[in-house]
């Protein structure tokens, strides 16, 4: 029994690749806004860099997922990582603002490798292992939020290369890390898609862009509600992530050093929660019940932030929020994987990532609008919506939404 529950060595390889990839992504988070200001961009224009990335990822992710089903996981994973390398090098040497937008869009188009990596995890694990595997996989992504921001500041202390500013060096370091992940993937990661199930011809059609499928996928009898859950969960969380920084800096009167520490603390707590708490709870509690409980607690915590706007309360709430917020996405991913047939895993996970990408584009824009009415308003709105989403999640327990994957 123990042997059956032990995760295969290939899982740890793809998790290592995903970790390096996530660090290369999170290095950019504390860098992008000040880097945009170097080009003279306004706050609104700077925020659109994130939107450009998310919308591009929304377009590119279903294609990568579909092609990974067709020609194999490994080639798509390597190509997408190399796309990140090229995009970040372009950003590092950008002479104009429009070039920076181009770099972010390229990174978005090729940045759907997380869904391909998830398909690899699904290929190599049994249904009994899947929640644990996705929990660890998501935890490694969260760990990237711990390593990435400090590494960004370290990169800015390095002697800048010719034609690259100190902030641009963060993009260089990010590109190097993505290249390391690509090399590891190419050299030691096995292909998990059997050759008999692959069509090695690289052919694309309009259907591969998935617009029609995306527009109708939420109506699918088994996984449709899971796609909706991914979108709603992602949108409410990104409303919080945008409002978090001005609230912390302006309302609580903190500095950027403490803000960086908050990001690190949040990442550590989320990582520990996913790795050490998710699986024991999953063994004792139904997946949907656990998801509903996590969403209810997250909604309440969001409402408490602006209700008690002191730094002491903030740190207490952040501890609980970091632990609770680590649960929803691995649980949603696990539910989707368990309720999708094996030959549709890449397509389903790619579509799911597209819903998350569009949520990541919409959430900050909504939050930016709400902030104009008050720094606490986005928290109240996100908290109330999260509580409503928790009740929606109950529907995933209905018999019509529990068909087993085949």
**What's the confidence (pLDDT) of residue 243?**
78
pLDDT band at 364 (very low <50, low <70, confident <90, very high): confident
Cα–Cα distances in Å, from 70 out to 17, 56, 275, 348? 22, 22, 32, 13
Decide if pLDDT at 42 tops 80: no
The residue behind tokens 């899982």 is 11
Q: Which of 61-65, 124-128, 266-270, 284-288 has the weakest average pLDDT?
A: 61-65
Record the tokens describing residue 359, joined without a space.
């949520």
pLDDT band at 2 (very low <50, low <70, confident <90, very high): very low
**What's the confidence (pLDDT) of residue 216?**
66
Give me the mean pLDDT over the 237-266 stretch.
79
Give me the mean pLDDT over the 122-142 stretch.
78
Contact 262, 384 (CB under 8 A): no
Integer Cα distance of 11 and 121 in angstroms: 6
**What's the confidence (pLDDT) of residue 172?**
93
pLDDT band at 314 (very low <50, low <70, confident <90, very high): very high
DSSP type of residue 28: S
**What's the confidence (pLDDT) of residue 93?**
92
**CA atoms within 13 Å, Cβ hemisphere of 332:** 29
Integer Cα distance of 334 and 330 in angstroms: 6
Contact 54, 357 (CB under 8 A): yes
Q: Which of 88 and 398 is assigned the larger pLDDT?
A: 88
Alpha helices, H only, 308-403: 311-324, 328-338, 345-371, 377-393
Tell me the whole-structure pTM to 2 decimals.
0.70
The residue behind tokens 């194999």 is 72
**What's the confidence (pLDDT) of residue 367?**
78
Q: Which of 254 and 229 is assigned the larger pLDDT?
A: 229
DSSP type of residue 276: I
Integer Cα distance of 62 and 340 in angstroms: 16
Record the tokens describing residue 278, joined without a space.
């998710």
Give me the mean pLDDT over the 165-186 stretch.
89
Q: Read out DSSP for 166-204?
A: TTHHHHHHHHHHHHHHHHHHHHHPPP-S-GGG---S---
**What's the confidence (pLDDT) of residue 79?**
87
Contact 406, 236 (CB under 8 A): no
**Opening angle at CA 123, ends 145 and 57, nearest 5:** 45
Decide if pLDDT at 3 tops 50: no
**What's the confidence (pLDDT) of residue 406?**
44
**What's the confidence (pLDDT) of residue 401?**
52
pLDDT band at 35 (very low <50, low <70, confident <90, very high): confident
Residue 148 region, left (φ>0) first, then alpha (ψ -120 to 50), else beta? alpha
Q: Which of 381 and 64 is assigned the larger pLDDT?
A: 381
**What's the confidence (pLDDT) of residue 272?**
84
Integer Cα distance of 316 and 250 in angstroms: 19
Record the tokens describing residue 329, joined without a space.
């996405």
Contact 19, 114 (CB under 8 A): no
**What's the confidence (pLDDT) of residue 120?**
82
| % of the chain surpassing 70 pLDDT | 87
Residues 43-99 pLDDT 10s:
677 777 877 888 887 777 777 777 777 777 888 888 888 998 999 999 999 988 899
User: How remote is the C-alpha of 262 from its chain's centroid?
Assistant: 19
Give me the mean pLDDT over the 302-319 stretch.
95
Q: Which of 215 and 130 is assigned the larger pLDDT?
A: 130
The residue behind tokens 């590092």 is 92
pLDDT band at 285 (very low <50, low <70, confident <90, very high): confident
Cα–Cα distances in Å, from 194 out to 10, 74, 112? 15, 11, 22
Decide if pLDDT at 399 tops 60: no
**What's the confidence (pLDDT) of residue 197?**
60
pLDDT band at 236 (very low <50, low <70, confident <90, very high): very high
Q: Which of 305 and 178 is assigned the larger pLDDT?
A: 305
State the average pLDDT for the chain: 81
Record the tokens describing residue 323, joined without a space.
């632990």
Residues 147-162 pLDDT 10s:
887 787 788 788 989 8
Decide if pLDDT at 302 tops 90: yes
All structural domains of the chain with their residue ranges: 2-189+209-397
Integer Cα distance of 378 and 8 in angstroms: 42
Q: Which of 384, 232, 204, 361 is nearest to 296 (CA)?
A: 384
CATH class given for the domain over 2-189+209-397: mainly alpha
Q: Which of 48, 6, 305, 34 is nearest to 169 (CA)?
A: 34
**What's the confidence (pLDDT) of residue 89?**
94
Record the tokens describing residue 391, joined without a space.
């009740």
Integer Cα distance of 144 and 340 in angstroms: 28
């Amino acid at each position: 029994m123990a042997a059956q529950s032990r995760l295969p060595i290939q899982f740890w390889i793809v998790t290592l690749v995903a970790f390096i990839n996530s660090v290369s992504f999170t290095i950019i988070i504390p860098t992008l806004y000040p880097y945009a200001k170097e080009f003279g961009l306004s706050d609104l224009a700077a925020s659109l860099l994130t939107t450009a990335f998310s919308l591009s990822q929304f377009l590119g992710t279903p294609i990568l997922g579909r092609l990974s089903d067709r020609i194999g996981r490994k080639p798509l994973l390597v190509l997408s990582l190399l796309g990140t390398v090229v995009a970040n090098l372009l950003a590092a040497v950008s002479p104009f603002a429009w070039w920076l937008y181009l770099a972010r869009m390229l990174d978005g188009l090729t940045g759907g490798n997380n869904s391909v990596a998830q398909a690899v995890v699904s290929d190599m694990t049994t249904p009994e292992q899947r929640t644990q595997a996705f929990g660890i996989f998501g935890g490694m992504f969260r760990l990237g939020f711990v390593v990435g921001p400090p590494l960004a500041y370290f990169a800015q202390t390095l002697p800048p290369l010719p034609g690259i500013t100190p902030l641009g060096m963060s993009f260089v370091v990010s590109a190097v890390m993505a290249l390391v992940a690509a090399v590891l993937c190419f050299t030691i990661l096995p292909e998990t898609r059997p050759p008999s199930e692959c069509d090695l011809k690289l052919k694309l059609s309009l259907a591969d862009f998935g617009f029609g499928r995306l527009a109708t996928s939420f109506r699918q009898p088994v996984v449709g509600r899971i796609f909706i859950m991914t979108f709603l969960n992602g949108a409410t969380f990104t409303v919080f992530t945008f409002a978090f920084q001005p609230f912390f800096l302006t309302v609580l009167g903190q500095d950027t050093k403490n803000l960086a520490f908050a990001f690190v603390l949040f990442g550590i707590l989320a990582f520990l929660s996913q790795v050490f708490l998710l699986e024991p709870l999953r063994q004792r509690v139904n997946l949907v019940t656990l998801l509903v409980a996590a969403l209810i607690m997250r909604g309440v915590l969001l409402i408490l932030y602006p209700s008690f706007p002191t730094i002491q309360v903030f740190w207490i709430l952040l501890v609980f929020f970091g632990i609770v917020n680590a649960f929803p996405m691995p649980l949603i991913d696990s539910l989707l994987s368990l309720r999708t047939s094996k030959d549709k895993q890449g397509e389903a996970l790619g579509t799911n990532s597209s819903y998350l990408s569009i949520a990541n584009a919409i959430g900050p824009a909504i939050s930016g609008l709400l902030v104009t009415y008050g720094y606490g308003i986005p928290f109240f709105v996100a908290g109330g919506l999260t509580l409503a989403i928790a009740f929606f999640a109950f529907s995933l327990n209905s018999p019509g939404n529990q068909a087993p994957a085949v």
